[in-house]
Chains A and B, each alone.
Chain A
Amino acid sequence: MTSCTLKKEERSEHYCESHSSMKIATFKVFRGDINGGAEVEYKVPVEEGMVVLDAIHYVQKNISPDLAVRWNCKAAKCGSCSAEVNGKPRLMCKSRLDDFDLSKEIRVYPMKSFPVIKDLACDVSWNFEVNKKIAPFTPKPDTDWKMSQRDIDRVQEFRKCIECFACQNVCHVIREHDLKPKFAGPRFFVRVAGLEMHPLDTADRLEALKDDMGIGFCNITKCCTEVCPEDIHITDNAIIPLKERVVDRFYDPLKMFFRKIWGK
């Protein structure tokens, strides 16, 4: 038993009181590692406005302190707590329990497209490797750094990305076909779009998009756009314009003809 240093009324309900009058939600959480694992059932008392991450924290605090989960801001700003809730990739901090039918179990699994480390934490390090290969922002020399808001609105949309990697997780090129080394994924098309459409950038990333980042593998099913917690129009505003630029440069029949003649 724990010895209390505080007066009872100073402690929160969670700790000393029972939850007899409260609604209870049943969670089935994946517990395991790269070698396998199993669902473990947890009963969690429901508070008003509770989100799935709160339930996971409840389990950590009261039942299994070794339950592994990533989280930071708890306000959908850092993109750490991505998981699959009832099979759908989402941020746990944004998944309200009142959006679920609590008479049924809620299943919480780690993201499927990345190797699991333990429980809900998986190895997303590949994404950080992809980022390193993207040519950095290269401003025009001698610019006066004046830009109109209208010209940067679109780029600011891309820069809202919180790197939750839900788009990477749901993209079938990665999820079903695991073309990871050849395909950079939606997150990094958004990043490249943010650089390519920056009014003062001069670097050229089209060849890299075609060859190293495999933008051609994307067949615009828009799964990424659907799961984006920041509502970035990944497919329409980033991927399609980039694809068009790649097509213009490399697959325009006239340009291909001239390239054959002049060799560039």
Chain B
Amino acid sequence: MSTLDRFEIHEHDVLVIGAGGAGLRAAIEASASGASVGLVCKSLLGKAHTVMAEGGVAAAVANVDKQDNWQTHYKDTIKGGKFLNNWRMAQLHAQESPERVLELERWGALFDRTQDGKILQRPFGGHSYKRLCHVGDRTGLEMIRTLQDRGVHLGINVYMECTITKLLKDDGKISGAFGYWRENGRFVIFKAKSIILATGGVGKAYKVTSNSWEYTADGQVLAYHAGAEFLDTEFIQFHPTGMIWPPGVIGILVTEAVRGEGGILTNREGFRFMQKYDPERMELSTRDVVARAIYTENKEGRGTPHGGAFLDISHKGADYIKKKLPSMYHQFKELADVDITTGPMEVGPTCHYSMGGLRVDAETTSTSVPGLFACGEVAAGLHGANRLGGNSLSDLLVFGRRAGVHAAEYSKKNSTLRKINEQDLQQAEKEMTRFFENEGENPYMVHQDLQELMHNYVGIFRTEDDLKYAIENLKKLKDRAKTVKIDGSRMYNPGWHMAYDLQSMILYSEAIAKCAIQRKESRGAHSRIDYPNTDPECGKWNSIVKKSSDGEMIVEKMQLTEMPQDLKKLFEEKELIKK
């Protein structure tokens, strides 16, 4: 009997891993082009992080501000990303997002309306015009439900509550994936001609985060071991406004739409402190600037009682707030006993998004591994050093679709399923079952120490000493994570699931810290106390991380491709010099 015969096997032209907005959009496109599509997700369908996106999706449809166009959206994205973005991705994103949003409407999404019956748009940080198409403050839910319902009618096979732990290759090309069913712990193999990773970010490596348990760098690390490269991992976005009280809700997102709708930030002295940090844009400055401002106010002793800032929208009146920000109203009322229609919220920075991730080709979303594609938060390049609010929902639509198109096309060109290497299977199995033979500690304890370490030493502000300390300690955590002990059986066992997730989080955390050391400047979301200025020389390269042939992590620099003249012309001379 071959090793293969022991496992449950499914076969598809295209396998999509991750069923948030990017994965669903990719699956829809691949399926529509005639490919047989499998869609694997760790949670139930419709529960991925996209559901928690609130404020809106950025697209220059120019329904409210007629002057808006893709060129301005492009410029805003590049300026927000501090010129480290992949210019081609930013161009495609700005050009294609209006069509992708209108397409959602044609599939049944119901955005809020303007007086003349079109999709309503609201202002957001770093966007020159009112650009965010939205549904109150539950835009993500509307999008994921629309995509989910579109998907189920296309005959996509959805494999819910399944975790992939290894990508399989044959002769250097993708041949499938190995994973387990969360429900019963049994292993499963997916044979596929191409694979799309859409697994999201890495927020769970941090103590204070808006991310759920799923965001553990799965896709990044699966691809790394398969030979793909990370790009710009040092750029982790701290959303300026997370809840900070009571303890149980710390980190839960407070949508930027509160500021978009006119919310005002003040410190304990009642001073509207954004005047000091960005007098022009004030509360609607970019997220990196606002998060640093709140942090600094606290460090200098002007924070609120629970260590944040006050955010007040009550001047807009109860009816308006309940209509435009209903879930914020309920969230504060029910979880914090705060009525935001009559008084301020207390907010502070929370780890929210990873600008870095897998290096992909702008047009096709392919990684450096043949047959492996990536889209959404797991991929990097579009957002540069800092992402603008609303640009991730448009990112996942634009590049989700592109991933679907190109993965399906790749599957057509490489039309036979490739071989599954038996040794790889045995190794993949061993990597998961070995935890039950361990005698170490509880995996949750290692996770807690990882979160503390990343929070304290690789957080909003960084120094060389802190980063070195973090790298030293990540090595120790890596050893501890290898020996964690698992109680119970393989049946729906969160401790066992955590044991695997830890390996990915620690590896990716190492990449964050190492790229953060390499970048000796401050730019966007990466702030070095020891190098507080932006260095134009550092604006010429991206960080690259890959695995050497002997398994070591290599960190290097890659020259940025220069923006073509027609796009350069959109910027003023001084903007280009200052970068």
Give chain A's interface residues, CB within 8 Å of chain B. 2-6, 10-12, 14-15, 33, 47-51, 54, 60-62, 64-80, 94, 96, 117-119, 121, 124-125, 128, 131-132, 136-137, 139, 145-149, 152, 155-156, 159-163, 195, 198, 201
Q: Contact: B213 with A10, CB < 8 Å?
A: no
Shortest beta-carbon distance from B516 to chain A in Å: 19
Tell me the complex Cα distance, A77–B255, Å: 13
- The verdict on B301 contacting chain A, using a C-beta distance below 8 Å, is no
Q: Contact: A65 with B487, CB < 8 Å?
A: yes
Among A54, A64, A137, the residue within 8 A (CB) of B149 is A137
Shortest beta-carbon distance from B349 to chain A in Å: 17
Contacts A12-B448, A50-B248, A147-B113 given; does A71 touch B335 at CB 8 Å = no
- The verdict on B47 contacting chain A, using a C-beta distance below 8 Å, is yes
Shortest beta-carbon distance from A37 to chain B in Å: 12
Tell me the complex Cα distance, A75–B487, Å: 29
Contacts A61-B444, A71-B212, A198-B108 given; does A117 touch B492 at CB 8 Å = yes
Q: Contact: A11 with B452, CB < 8 Å?
A: yes
Chain A residues in 8 Å Cβ range of B153 = 132, 136
Shortest beta-carbon distance from A50 to chain B in Å: 5
Among A2, A72, A146, the residue within 8 A (CB) of B117 is A146
Contacts A2-B441, A118-B491, A119-B492 given; does A54 touch B248 at CB 8 Å = yes
Residues 538 to 570 of chain B near chain A (Cβ within 8 Å): none
- The verdict on B477 contacting chain A, using a C-beta distance below 8 Å, is yes
Q: Contact: A145 with B491, CB < 8 Å?
A: no
Interface 0/1 of B113-145, CB less than 8 Å to A: 100111000000000000000011010011001
Among B212, B335, B493, the residue within 8 A (CB) of A49 is B335
In the complex, what residue of chain A is closest to B487 when comparing beta carbons? A66
In the complex, what residue of chain B is closest to A119 when comparing beta carbons? B492
Q: Contact: B212 with A118, CB < 8 Å?
A: no
In the complex, what residue of chain A is closest to B249 when comparing beta carbons? A49
Q: Contact: B43 with A152, CB < 8 Å?
A: no
Among B105, B149, B253, the residue within 8 A (CB) of A145 is B105
Among B334, B486, B495, the residue within 8 A (CB) of A76 is B334
Chain B residues in 8 Å Cβ range of A70 = 43-44
Chain B residues in 8 Å Cβ range of A125 = 160
Tell me the complex Cα distance, A217–B48, Å: 33
Shortest beta-carbon distance from B460 to chain A in Å: 16
Between A and B, 13 residue pairs with Cβ closer than 8 Å are A5-B477, A11-B448, A49-B248, A51-B248, A65-B487, A72-B213, A74-B252, A78-B46, A78-B47, A78-B212, A79-B47, A80-B47, A125-B160
Q: Contact: A160 with B138, CB < 8 Å?
A: yes
Chain A residues in 8 Å Cβ range of B576 = none
Among B46, B246, B473, the residue within 8 A (CB) of A48 is B246
Q: Contact: B135 with A121, CB < 8 Å?
A: no
Tell me the complex Cα distance, A16–B491, Å: 30
Contacts A5-B476, A68-B493, A132-B153 given; does A48 touch B444 at CB 8 Å = no
Tell me the complex Cα distance, A51–B336, Å: 11
Chain B residues in 8 Å Cβ range of A121 = 183, 492
Shortest beta-carbon distance from B210 to chain A in Å: 9
Contacts A147-B117, A198-B108 given; does A77 touch B327 at CB 8 Å = yes
- The verdict on B52 contacting chain A, using a C-beta distance below 8 Å, is yes
Q: Contact: A145 with B106, CB < 8 Å?
A: yes
- The verdict on B102 contacting chain A, using a C-beta distance below 8 Å, is yes
| Residue from the set A14, A71, A161 with the largest chain B CB neighbour count within 10 Å | A71
Q: Contact: B212 with A139, CB < 8 Å?
A: no
Shortest beta-carbon distance from A149 to chain B in Å: 4
Beyond A78-B47, A80-B43, 9 extra complex contacts between A and B, CB < 8 Å: A5-B449, A49-B247, A61-B445, A65-B494, A66-B487, A70-B44, A71-B213, A147-B117, A149-B112
Tell me the complex Cα distance, A152–B135, Å: 11
Chain A residues in 8 Å Cβ range of B110 = 147, 152, 155-156, 159, 198
| Residue from the set B46, B331, B477 with the largest chain A CB neighbour count within 10 Å | B46
Interface 0/1 of B89-114, CB less than 8 Å to A: 00000000000001001111010110
Shortest beta-carbon distance from B449 to chain A in Å: 6
